[in-house]
Amino acid sequence: MQLLRSSNRQILNLSEDNELGLGGEARIYLLPGPNALAAKVYHRPTLEHGAKLAAMLANPPEDPTAGQGHTSIAWPSELLLSRDDNQQVLGFLMPLVQGMNPIIDFYHPKTRRREHPLFNFLYLLRTARNLAGCVAALHARGYVIGDLNESNILVSDTALVTWVDTDSFQVHDSANGKTYRCRVGKPEFTPPELQSVTFSEQDRLPQHDCFGLAVLLFQLLMEGTHPFAGRHFGPGEPPSLEQRIGAGHFPYARASGPTQLPMRAAPPFESLHPALRQLFVRCFIDGHAQPGTRPDAATWQNTLEAAEGDLAVCSENEQHRYSSHLASCPWCERQKFLRGLDPFPSRQAVQLGQHLHHPIHDRPRPASSHRRLGATPLAAAPTTPAAPPSALLRWAAIAGAIGLTLLLVAFWIWTIRLTLQHR
């Protein structure tokens, strides 16, 4: 496939040999050459694709980590055109993202312990801060992410963040006043006021992004727990996650309703810095009735930075970082709650490979544990060694021959006696 670069009219040859990925809307290719670029080519390009991309190129956001040589927002850099006279927009070029992993790999405890065992709570806080910084930069340029969820965010081992799939954002073109909407969204990241709307018919606002951002930050800092997941003890069937969001049942605040309690497996909400807890309540409780009161991304960024600077180090395990308002290490307590499974294993444990094993579940079982409960132990077996199989077969053959011979002899004697009797 041959396409034309809009900047210098260079012809690009893209083939399956340099394909990086395939999605429902487009294919991603590695661009041959010294520059770290990727090409996104739509399956069914439209005029709207071209107009939206042109508006994005005319108003790029400021990248928060550009000074560190890192791309936080994989923004389109130029258009890819067809080679015919129409020169239709078929796709675009963007920075190539390498050496990063999906954000869920870091906030999911099991995957983090296996793939990134030294990524401690300090790095989770820094990831959250970088995440909020990206959203703040996008909002400052008038963009709304819309479909804000875990699937379009990548994270490095040093807590740097990159947003991908940026052409799905809601884009407002100030030149013609048109808004190109984001047509999709995940219910678990969607604010209550948008739970039942058709996204293709809805202009979204930064306050809608702020709800999804708070959900993602909560999952990062609370071991992957969704903020509206909880134990239901009221009448009837437990409501779905979308219903809980719609009803504002945030189980970590009493004002959310008397029928929801936090998940037992979740860390204590009180382990978070007090300022962060206040922002979560402000977003999920106050923001339920008044969406405009939700903390914006810049507020999250500043508060997370302050919380990071207020961390203490555990005397038992330096990988345990926690808010200094606590009297003791919550991660040591959590390790006890998890029966020895450390959420942030020490460097020594990682070096020895101990972080991959559960100290209780992986303990070798005694041989007797395989007996049925209540079964009587078998008597001791004789100590005389058993004869080899070949010897047993030989003795069996000899015994069979002797038995047959005796049977024939008895039959012969009986026949002779019967004959003598009839003479």
Which tens digits make up the pLDDT trace of 237-272?
A: 889 999 999 999 999 986 555 678 999 999 999 999
pLDDT category at 190 given cuts 50, 70, 90 is very high
pLDDT at 182: 96
Question: What is the architecture of the domain spanning 99-315?
Answer: Orthogonal Bundle (1.10)
Question: Smallest Cα–Cα separation from 203: which of 212, 194, 211?
Answer: 194
∠ Cα 356 362 368 (to 5°): 165
| Topology of domain 1-98, CATH | Phosphorylase Kinase; domain 1 (3.30.200)
Phi, psi dihedrals of residue 302, rounded to the nearest 5° = -65, -40
pLDDT digits (tens, 9 = 90+) for 51-79: 999 999 999 999 999 999 999 999 999 99
Whole-angstrom distance, CA of residue 268 vs CA of residue 338: 13
Q: Is 250 helix (H, G, I), strand (E, B) or coil?
A: coil
∠ Cα 286 194 213 (to 5°): 60
Better-scored residue on pLDDT, 380 or 353: 353
Q: In sequence order, what are the residues at sequence separation of 6 or more whose Cβ sits closer than 8 angstroms to the Cβ of residue 398?
A: none
**In the block, residue with structure tokens 């990063």:** 100
Question: Smallest Cα–Cα separation from 141: which of 71, 55, 60?
Answer: 60
Beta bridge partner(s), residue 106: none
Q: What is the pLDDT averaged over residues 43-47?
A: 95
pLDDT at 256: 55
Which among 63, 147, 209, 342 is annotated as catalytic? 147
At residue 46, what is the residue type?
T
Q: Are 318 and 245 in contact (CB under 8 A)?
A: no
Read off the pTM. 0.83
Task: Return the H-helix or E-strand segment holding 93.
Answer: strand 89-95
pLDDT at 125: 98
Whole-angstrom distance, CA of residue 417 vs CA of residue 411: 10
Whole-angstrom distance, CA of residue 276 vs CA of residue 125: 11
Question: Taking 70 as the threshold, does the pLDDT of residue 382 lie above it?
Answer: no
Question: Smallest Cα–Cα separation from 107: which of 91, 94, 123, 93?
Answer: 123
DSSP conformation class of 257: -
DSSP conformation class of 144: B
Q: Is 167 a catalytic residue?
A: no
Question: Taking 80 as the threshold, does the pLDDT of residue 124 lie above it?
Answer: yes
Question: Taking 50 as the threshold, does the pLDDT of residue 374 lie above it?
Answer: no
Show me where the domains of the chain are located. Answer: 1-98, 99-315
pLDDT at 394: 53
Q: Which two tokens stand for residue 213?
A: 């951002």
Whole-angstrom distance, CA of residue 354 vs CA of residue 247: 43
Better-scored residue on pLDDT, 356 or 344: 344
Phi, psi dihedrals of residue 363, rounded to the nearest 5° = -70, 135
Q: Are 318 and 346 in contact (CB under 8 A)?
A: yes
217: left (phi over 0), alpha (psi -120 to 50) or beta: alpha
**Which DSSP string do the residues of 339-369 spell out, in sequence order?**
TT--SS--HHHHHTTGGGS-TTTTSPPPGGG
pLDDT digits (tens, 9 = 90+) for 125-172: 999 999 999 999 999 999 999 999 999 999 999 999 999 999 999 999
pLDDT digits (tens, 9 = 90+) for 16-34: 888 998 888 999 999 877 7
pLDDT at 373: 32
Q: What is the pLDDT averaged over residues 193-211?
A: 96
Question: Taking 50 as the threshold, does the pLDDT of residue 383 lie above it?
Answer: no
Q: Mean pLDDT score of the chain, rounded to an integer?
A: 87
55-64 core/surface letters (b: 16 or more CB in 10 A; e: else)? bbeeeebebb
At residue 394, what is the residue type?
R
Q: Is 379 exposed, middle or buried (0-12, 13-18, 19+ CB in 10 A)?
A: exposed
Question: Smallest Cα–Cα separation from 264: which of 234, 323, 223?
Answer: 223
Task: Return the H-helix or E-strand segment holding 22.
Answer: strand 19-22
Whole-angstrom distance, CA of residue 135 vs CA of residue 130: 9
pLDDT at 385: 37
Task: Return the H-helix or E-strand segment holding 29.
Answer: strand 26-30
Question: Taking 60 as the threshold, does the pLDDT of residue 207 lie above it?
Answer: yes
